[in-house]
Amino acid sequence: MSGWEKVKLEELYEVHNGLSKPRSAFGSGHPFLSFSTVFNNFFLPESLDSLVQSSEAERESFSIRRGDVFVTRTSETPEELGMSSVALKDYPDATYNGFCKRLRPVSERVWPEFIGYVFRHFAFRSKFYGLAGSMTSRASLKNEDLLDMEISLPPLAEQRRIAGVLRAYDEAIENCCRQISLLEEATQMLYRNRFLSGNEDNWESVSILDNDVFRFVSPKVTPFRGEKLYYATADVDGTGIVGQGEFVSFDNRPSRASIQPIPNSVWFARMSNSYKILCFIEGCGGLENRCIISSGFAGFSSAPEHFGYVYCTIASRLFDEMKNRFATGATQVSLTNEGLGKISVRLPPREAIRDFSSIVLPYLMNAELLRCQIKSFSEARDRLLPRLLNGEASA
């Protein structure tokens, strides 16, 4: 580790709190960096989809520039404190949320792509767990605690080499995600053209819970303890159809009750504000044997010759609108089994379903195989990351 040094963040950054606005200010105006965007991304996305009404003075004070590090400053659990995301470019007229802190570089000693991995590395994240553990109620990060933290900093050239290796994995993942998105768009376009064009001769209207095509999965929900499985949640992530979604190790959730998926099944988030879809196809890497999903999902299976139609129906915006119409709840609005029973689907002749499914199944299988590649790339990157950041492996 020649040339590496221990450096406090106060030598590298200045800290600034975020913008707080009333709910009425959101939905229009200028780009806004939300808490969830920081929480879910190592690096800020190409564009910020959230909008807020902000003044010129606010846009100047709460600006976003290349090299800025955004850190979640408050949470109800230690795992949510200190999640970070780094800006790799300037975002004109953008501001960031009041539940995050901005670390703006005051030194040219850090390479933004490198620091993004440092802040997300477990060795650094564990320092936030220690801070949260000493708090008696809701965890809240103090400026002095944040700036007092140390990182191991190699020379700038080494930072760039390390970041380049890790970014190569992320770019491969992003490429897979783009391909998946194109495959999803193609299947939905075929579905709309064939079944939502108004030609419904010889179709039947049936309850989604009472027909021979959609088979509702009545899952056995049991607590898993010590299982080395991946865990997919139904939380909102704002990314549309996300396939297998974000998997996390189940090791730190020993008492959570969850569902083991089955082959040839498609699952959707019951929450009205989440559009997350999970798909498990027999013969596509056996992901159903290596993961569990939260009880926030509901699922349908089907015969293999019907699966393409079942998947495209559940993944369609039309189904999502019906789900939202029958969702209930005083606080968290979600679809119960009773509400699900009120959803009707129009079934074309079975021959048309089989023909369509045979066309789109290769698209869906390719998408699932790409998701398996994403898992492999992610795991390889995560194995390499600590060795690079500890100086144990050469970039």
DSSP 350-386: HHHHHHHHHHHHHHHHHHHHHHHHHHHHHHHHHHHHH
Q: What pLDDT shows up at residue 36?
A: 86
Please give the CATH superfamily to which domain 201-368 belongs: DNA methylase specificity domains (3.90.220.20)
- Give this prediction's pTM: 0.78
Q: What pLDDT shows up at residue 242?
A: 37
Q: What pLDDT shows up at residue 241?
A: 37
Q: What pLDDT shows up at residue 18?
A: 95
| pLDDT (mean) for 288-294 | 74
Beta bridge partners of 206: 345
Q: Is the pLDDT reported for residue 329 higher than 80? A: yes
Q: Is the pLDDT reported for residue 135 higher than 60? A: no
> Which residue bears the tokens 């949640």?
233
Q: Picking from 46-50, 78-82, 258-262, which range would have the lowest pLDDT averaged per residue?
A: 78-82
Q: How far apart are CA 26 and CA 99, in angstroms?
A: 15
Interval 36-68: pLDDT, tens: 899 888 999 999 989 999 999 999 999 999 999
Mean predicted lDDT score pLDDT of the chain = 86
Q: Which CATH number fits domain 5-153: 3.40.50.1220, 3.90.220.20, 3.40.50.450, 3.30.420.10?
A: 3.90.220.20
DSSP H helices in the chain: 35-40, 56-61, 112-120, 122-133, 143-147, 156-195, 307-314, 317-325, 337-340, 350-389
Q: How far apart are CA 200 and CA 190, in angstroms?
A: 16
Q: What pLDDT shows up at residue 81?
A: 80
DSSP state of 161: H
Q: Is the pLDDT reported for residue 171 higher than 80? A: yes
Distances (CA, A) of 311 to 184, 288, 374, 388, 392: 11, 16, 21, 41, 45
Q: Residue ranges of the domains in the chain?
A: 5-153, 201-368
Beta bridge partners of 1: none
Q: What pLDDT shows up at residue 191?
A: 96
Using 50, 70 and 90 to split pLDDT, how confident is the model at 352? very high
CB-side exposure of 271: number of CA atoms within 13 Å? 16
Q: Is the pLDDT reported for residue 306 higher than 60? A: yes
